[in-house]
Structure 1
Amino acid sequence: MNTAASQDALAQEFVTFAVETGVLRFGEFKTKAGRLSPYFFNAGLFDDGLKVGRLAQFYAQRLLASGLEFDMIFGPAYKGITLAAAVAIELARLGHNKPFAYNRKEAKDHGEGGTLVGAKVQGRVLIIDDVISAGTSVRESIAMIQAAGATPCGVTIALDRQEKAAENGQDLPWSAVQYVRDQLKLPVVAIAGLSDLLQYLQTTSSTAVSAHAVAVHAYRDRYGV
């Protein structure tokens, strides 16, 4: 199987997993940009050992397939903390032991102090998160990594919504992921994207789920990039 085909298969596995666990839901949801989205991805619902372990496998498989080289993982608070730890464990299981670190929301004035926790932030640092909504979290992570004297080398996320970013109520001509790639000059490795979700909706045997395909298509036509 070629790499593109195997990555497509991985994306389909991930979307199926996210739907079956209730992490990816369909209906009507208001996004941070104020849009009414026909689907919602809530990574906070990867809330037990089996789910987080499986999620970490998807991240690790995608990262190893991408060829992106990094020395350590950085998880921005709060969701990134669990993700960084889980993916570091899975990578180590696969023979790629990487240190990880994360930040506190507030600086600690006792003990070791500071806002960074975990391994010393150094070398090529991979930022991990669930999605990129506006790029704000990525910019904040870049600043912390650079302040520590290290080099941000990429971002990995679970789902790329592949839709236009918004600012002050106005749609922008690029997505948050494109902003990170083109303006911040960092590669982004996503397990799956909106295009993979649409493919899933077109091929699933569940009529209850496939019924949402029209709404998701319409949303992509309006806001997609």
Structure 2
Amino acid sequence: MAELTELNEAGRSVALDFVQFAIDSGVLRFGEFKTKAGRMSPYFFNAGLFDDGAKLMRLAEFYADRLIESGIEFDMIFGPAYKGIPLGATVAAELARRGRNVPFAYNRKEAKDHGEGGVLVGAPLQGRVLIVDDVMSAGTAVRESIEAIRAAGATPQAVVIALDRQEKATENGIDVDHSAVQYVRNRLGMQVVAIATLDDLLQYLSERTDSSLGVHREGVMAYRKRYGA
């Protein structure tokens, strides 16, 4: 029981440190932002702004820490186009630096008709495959990845993302009761782990009520209450 408590505490520490890192990097911002679903969100997470070597190295460390803490077993990494490509590559490099060298592959959006051809690049897809991405909104990229992995005869094992927004997904413009993460877990039967969640963000903001960041907690809580899954 004590070991489980220590693991939970370690996970929370990684999550809160990641929230701080994302804010410091300008990746996590507060204000008023329109999401793909047409919602007005009080915060915005743009992993594309992890845009230099130092940020990418630190980001890969967070992914690796979360993967180790989760205990997920996998044989190789797959990065879905486009943001998943650099994420998967840097996570593979970080794991190799820690002594765990695993193959890495990614896909193209369009098939290449010359050279090696096809839509898959890198190591052959085989064994238990870990999908690495930034966030999961509709789950489209993950579903496409799962199809490609299964078509190659490999097993889609799990998904690791940077942030779980914990909000309802939309289908044909209509809110549904589950999030994209819940869909992948419950309907597709895959493990999904996130470095941090919206709950972690709220905890971070609740601990900073005396700072300029604390004022955003009420808006984020209202958004969670309205769209939370």
- Secondary structure at 2:116 match in 1: coil
Gaps of 5+ in 2: none
Task: Give runs of aligned pairs for residues 1-225 of structure 1, distance below 5 A.
Answer: 2-204=6-208, 207-225=211-229
Aligned residues: 225
> Distance in 2 between the 1:87 and 1:13 partners?
18
1:8-35 CA-to-partner distances (Å, cap 9, x unmatched) read 0000000000011110000000111110
> Distance in 1 between the 2:153 and 2:171 partners?
31
User: How many percent of aligned residue pairs carry the same amino acid?
Assistant: 68
> Distance in 2 between the 1:4 and 1:162 partners?
19
Shift of 1:209: 1.2
> Distance in 2 between the 1:124 and 1:53 partners?
25
TM-score by length of 2: 0.96
> Distance in 1 between the 2:149 and 2:171 partners?
25
Gaps of 5+ in 1: none
TM-score by length of 1: 0.98
Task: Report the aligned-residue RMSD.
Answer: 1.0
Shift of 1:205: 6.6
